[in-house]
């Protein structure tokens, strides 16, 4: 069975050497070196995980990431490619699929589009299905982040109500583009956005993401 998380991880690791360690990404001011270090720490240092969620622990996580940036870029990429160690729950394919498909899809696009390719991709059905399942799992978090009523819908008719309310903003597009939109990459997502203009403006600048 195809594991979309593993596929996106491999595609990202193939792209890293092509663009080099100082290429821009969509992750703020992070370069590809910064992003690779983040992924290594996320895979291999469980003590970094609280800092990805809670502000009080963010300093420790950032310290670990900065330390990782001192490694050669090629070594970081090799570590990302090899995946988490065997003792990690995400070394199991089902856990990896559920927890890492969105992570590696988004970061793959962070590098692709940060380096100048703004085009979307035709994704395998298995990848689209897992991305959509991931969006449904994180919908409660996105609901709290949304400043206005919001519904997202795929081109093939799937629909997810992010936040209820009158006259919701409706965002329509391919699943991958909806993921980018709901993970704070609104400016580069190839989607159609309809609704009240004031609500659209709020949604377009909202700090979405998990």
pLDDT at 194 over 80: yes
pLDDT digits (tens, 9 = 90+) for 152-183: 999 999 999 999 999 999 999 999 999 999 99
Domain residue ranges in the chain: 4-114, 137-204
The mean pLDDT value for 129-133 works out to: 96
Give Cβ neighbours of residue 66 (< 8 Å, ≥ 6 apart): 37
**Phi-psi group of 20: left, alpha or beta (phi > 0 → left; psi -120 to 50 → alpha; rest → beta):** left
pLDDT at 49: 66
pLDDT at 82 over 80: yes
Domain covering 137-204 assigned CATH 3.30.1050 in the classification: yes
pTM for the whole structure: 0.93
- Residue 91 pLDDT grade (very low, low, confident, very high; cuts 50, 70, 90): confident
Please state, for a pLDDT cut of 70, what percent of the chain lies above it.
96
Give Cβ neighbours of residue 186 (< 8 Å, ≥ 6 apart): 180, 203, 204, 205, 206, 208
């Amino acid at each position: 069975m195809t594991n979309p998380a593993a596929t996106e991880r491999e595609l990202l690791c193939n792209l890293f050497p092509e663009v080099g360690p100082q290429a821009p990404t969509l992750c703020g001011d992070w370069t590809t070196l910064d992003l690779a270090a983040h992924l290594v720490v996320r895979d291999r240092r469980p003590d970094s995980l609280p800092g990805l969620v809670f502000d009080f622990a963010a300093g420790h996580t950032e310290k670990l990431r900065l330390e990782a940036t001192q490694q050669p870029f090629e070594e970081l990429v090799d570590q990302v490619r090899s995946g988490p160690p065997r003792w990690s729950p995400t070394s199991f394919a089902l856990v990896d699929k559920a927890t890492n498909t969105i992570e590696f899809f988004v970061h793959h696009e962070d590098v692709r589009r940060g380096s100048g390719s703004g085009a979307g991709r035709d994704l395998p059905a298995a990848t689209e299905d897992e991305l959509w399942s991931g969006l449904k799992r994180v919908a409660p978090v996105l609901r709290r982040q949304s400043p206005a009523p919001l519904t997202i819908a795929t081109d093939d008719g799937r629909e997810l109500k992010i936040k209820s309310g009158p006259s919701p903003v409706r965002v329509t597009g391919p699943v991958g583009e909806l993921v980018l939109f709901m993970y704070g990459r609104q400016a580069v997502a190839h989607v159609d956005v309809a609704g009240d203009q004031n609500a659209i403006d709020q949604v377009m600048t909202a700090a979405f993401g998990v």
